[in-house]
Amino acid sequence: MKNPCFRSCLAPRMEQFVALRQASGFDYRGQAKELKYFDTFLFRNDIRIERLTRELTEQYERTLVHLHPATRENRLRVLIRFARHLAGSDPESFVPWAPPSDRATRARLPFIYALEHVRALMQAAGQLPPATSLRPDTYRALIGLLYSTGLRISEALALGLGDLDHGAKLLHVRHGKFGKERWVPLSDSAYAALRVYLDRRLATGPPAGAQTDTPLFISLRGRRMDYSTVLHTFQRLLKECGLRPDQGPRPRIHDLRHAFAVHSLLRWYRQGRDLNACLPALSTYMGHVGVAATQVYLHATAELLDATHRRFLAHYRQHAQGDSDDRHTPDRSVHGTVLLPVSRR
């Protein structure tokens, strides 16, 4: 995705601002898209100014009242960053106050897909038209990869043919969040499924050019898959599988990443692994800067709570054989137990 083309009276300053942010190491394309809405507001209203004013920013804010609070907050926060940039060279330029954030109270609960849900989605993907095209194989492979690796959808769609190391069974994620790169090991089954798709992809898709630049997942036209098209098709698959509940969280494609994290934790609980050692590895695997970022993805499902209970009970029975003083010590802890958010599926 390229940076948007700014057209307003502040277009040169916007281009300078975005270039500066990107030169600092930020992947600022998403935020640049949010700034484009302010640029369009200025352009369509034929507003010609040299600096921001309170009246102008308040006028822009009134055009956002119909939006979802999270969307409105994102656009205003990008505008504030741009205003601070302008004020750096023009102290009289107005800088709006940051809007109060209620993200903690309105954070949505994810839908944690069970294995049977993923199988149903992949089966439905295999029935996508045209039946003889690569499209069914593409969506089946994409869903399976997201579930088995926890990749972000943007990372999966950005993969190229040269990003798969067949010898080591590794994926090279070149376009991670904040521009980070990482290697993602694949399980034998995930690699085998991806290889089946790749064989068909090379046999029926357009000729492969530069391996790294040639997209791994392609559309019917042989181009890199479009994010919005993938989301639309995924919603169709959810409906066909009956995964559109009237109550509870509505499933999203990003929730496959949540499911990967929860199921990894559940597997380690059942295996009796040391979670204090496993969680940093999970953070690195998912492309997080630390365990705190991964904690957002660890949700207390019924299966995970049951595994936690069983582990604690086994620990208690093992250590409750001592004398009465030891049995009633209040600060005993369970090795490798992770505190989970109280949100349930």
For residue 335, what are its two tokens? Answer: 């090795």
* 37 classed as catalytic: no
pLDDT category of residue 16 using cuts at 50, 70 and 90: very high
pLDDT, residue 322, reads 52
Strand partners, 171: 164, 184
If you average pLDDT over residues 294-319, what whole number do you get? Answer: 70
pLDDT, residue 105, reads 46
pLDDT, residue 209, reads 52
User: What long-range pairs does 269-277 form, CB within 8 A, spacing at least 24?
Assistant: 269/304, 269/307, 269/308, 269/311, 270/307, 272/311, 273/336, 274/335, 274/336, 275/336, 275/337, 275/338, 276/335, 276/336, 277/336
Catalytic option among 13, 288, 299, 311: 288
In this model, does residue 80 exceed pLDDT 90? yes
Cα 108 from chain centroid? 14
Catalytic option among 7, 21, 81, 177: 177
* 311 classed as catalytic: no
| Higher per-residue pLDDT: 261 or 304 | 261
In this model, does residue 235 exceed pLDDT 90? yes
Catalytic option among 13, 36, 75, 152: 152
In this model, does residue 142 exceed pLDDT 50? yes
Dihedral sign computed on CA atoms, order 258, 292, 304, 145: positive
Distance CA 208, CA 76 (A): 43
pLDDT digits (tens, 9 = 90+) for 241-277: 998 766 677 899 999 999 999 999 899 888 888 888 8
Catalytic option among 13, 257, 258, 263: 257
Distance CA 139, CA 326 (A): 56
Distance CA 15, CA 324 (A): 71
pLDDT, residue 140, reads 97
Distance CA 8, CA 19 (A): 17
| Exposed/middle/buried for residue 177 (C-beta within 10 Å: 0-12, 13-18, 19+) | middle
pLDDT digits (tens, 9 = 90+) for 101-114: 555 445 578 999 99
Q: Is the peptide bond before 130 cis (omega within 30 degrees of 0)?
A: yes
* 232 classed as catalytic: no
In this model, does residue 334 exceed pLDDT 60? no
* 152 classed as catalytic: yes
* 309 classed as catalytic: no
Q: Provide the CB-side half-sphere exposure for 192 (13 A, CA).
A: 3
Catalytic option among 28, 60, 139, 297: 297
| CB-based contact 147:260 (threshold 8 Å) | yes
pTM: 0.68
In a 3-state reduction of DSSP, which class is residue 202? helix
In this model, does residue 308 exceed pLDDT 70? no
Look at residues 76, 74, 77, 10 and name the one whose alpha carbon lies nearest to residue 47.
10
Catalytic option among 172, 254, 315, 344: 254
Q: For residue 187, which phi and psi values (nearest 5 degrees)?
A: -70, 165
* 177 classed as catalytic: yes
Mean pLDDT of the chain: 84
Look at residues 40, 33, 39 and name the one whose alpha carbon lies nearest to residue 10.
39
